[in-house]
A and B are shown apart, each in its own frame.
Chain A
Amino acid sequence: MRPVGFGLVIAVLLGTATGTALAQNAEWASMDFSDLTRPGPMSWIAGEIWPDVAARENDYLQKVLKRSLPAGGNSLRVLTANVNSAGASYIVSIVLSLDCEAGSNHNVASVEPSICSMRISQNTQGRWVTLLTDRACFVDPQDEAAPAANRFDSAQVQFDEKRRVLNVRANIGGIWLATCTRSFPIP
């Protein structure tokens, strides 16, 4: 087996060049991808947590690209994860928007994450209140056409209840990216 292939086998099994296991830690949760152009269970998030961004993105679609709003009502893609702790419900969301800083555009480039806006919101008496806005890595969902090493690309979250800190990380091609590993104290 060629050395490159062997390395990829190890990467897929172990998940990283740094030795961190890819196998999911029970405390970490992968974020779910939602395409808000289609009606779905996460359609509400555009109006409740990202109304400002949704308005800007919809404006771009309608006024710049001169197209109608899609069936889902919003021209937005989002990663989300729910966190429940001591009776409190939080949602972590990262939105792919014009505000992001995306990676390389090049014929020999490989998959790179985008640095996008992230919000941590808490459900308070039926309303979602955003506690914190910052930046985090948006990881594109991969399909069968993606390289095998990228089939498990994901953004993940973990809530440290003791320290009240939300940790996020991203795995691209079997490597946990240092630039995407961040911690956010929850107020």
Chain B
Amino acid sequence: MLRALLRRLAIAVLIALFPSLAFAQRQQYCERTNYSAQEITNAVNASPLRDELKATSCSLGGLGRFESGGNKGVYNGSCCTGIFQLNNANVWRYARTDREGFGCMSLQEQVDAWARLTNDGYRTGVVRRLMEMGYFDGRRVDASFIAACIQLGVGNCQTMVNSGRCSGFADSNGTTICDMARAAQANADPNCQNNPNTPACEQGPGDFPPGQPVAAVPPAPATTDIMVGLGEV
């Protein structure tokens, strides 16, 4: 007991003399990278992320840039590592490694882990509730909103939903889920190429060539061996 107290007193004295010690330093694991939003988007498209979220993968590339500046090896000094700044618990749960191991993984491996985390978050009650609402505090619930909800933790997201306002939850820096969703979109590549495997019906009007009225392209008559005579109808 006395030894524990002396140890704490020593740390308290060190913090008093060197306040910066109170805040752990950011660390770099393996090489420093500078992946672009498009490169992150490409990795998202190649990941096991759900198709519904991949359909707007450009904003998710922006989310990665917002979180890490494209540097997959950065640790923030307190909890979070990598391109999407996964916390230590999630680094373990989804990548089965520690933060240094995670920082040294490839971009694709990191994005795959984040994708599995996001897929699990997608199935939670709070995300289902947000999707049913369609709009929250005047903001459309789109993929970047859902991703931001999961990113800041579904428990924290539930706190926001319970309050009815974006301001219902903010992290220690004052960032809300709504702020993060906006930042993700703002950081997306302006010339972004969305998921190339997005089903056609989500890209255009369907079977008909875009830009032409349906009546201008009638189906061609087909041959038949069924002949109906007058009076047989």
A residues contacting B by CB (< 8 A) are: 1-2, 4-6, 8-9, 12-13, 22-24, 60-61, 64-65, 67, 75, 77, 96-98, 100-112, 114-115, 138, 140, 145-152
Contacts and interface: CB of A to CB of B under 8 A. Distances in A.
Given A4-B19, A23-B1, A110-B79, A148 B86 contact: no
A4 B67 CA distance: 25
Top 10 A-B residue pairs of the complex, sorted by shortest distance between their CB atoms? A5-B19, A108-B173, A102-B89, A147-B24, A8-B22, A114-B89, A103-B153, A12-B12, A9-B12, A104-B153
Contacts of A1: 16, 19
Given A23-B5, A98-B93, A104 B68 contact: no
A5 B67 contact: no
A61 B22 contact: no
Interface in B28-87: 67-68, 74-80, 84-87
B23 A147 contact: yes
Given A104-B171, A109-B172, A145-B27, A8 B19 contact: yes
B220 interface: no
A2 B151 CA distance: 32
Contact of A146 (B78, B89, B171, B173): B78
Contact of A102 (B5, B14, B90): B90
Given A9-B16, A108-B172, A148 B21 contact: yes
A105 B87 contact: yes
Given A77-B92, A148-B22, 6 more contacts: A8-B19, A67-B96, A75-B96, A96-B93, A103-B87, A147-B78
A1 B95 CA distance: 41
B11 A107 contact: no
A123 B221 CA distance: 81
Interface string B114-155: 101100100000000000000000000000000000011111
Interface string B187-218: 00000000000000000000000000000000
Nearest to B69: A107
Contacts of A97: 93
Nearest to A145: B24
Interface centre among B8, B25, B75 (most CB of A within 10 A): B8
A12 B180 CA distance: 32
B8 A102 contact: no
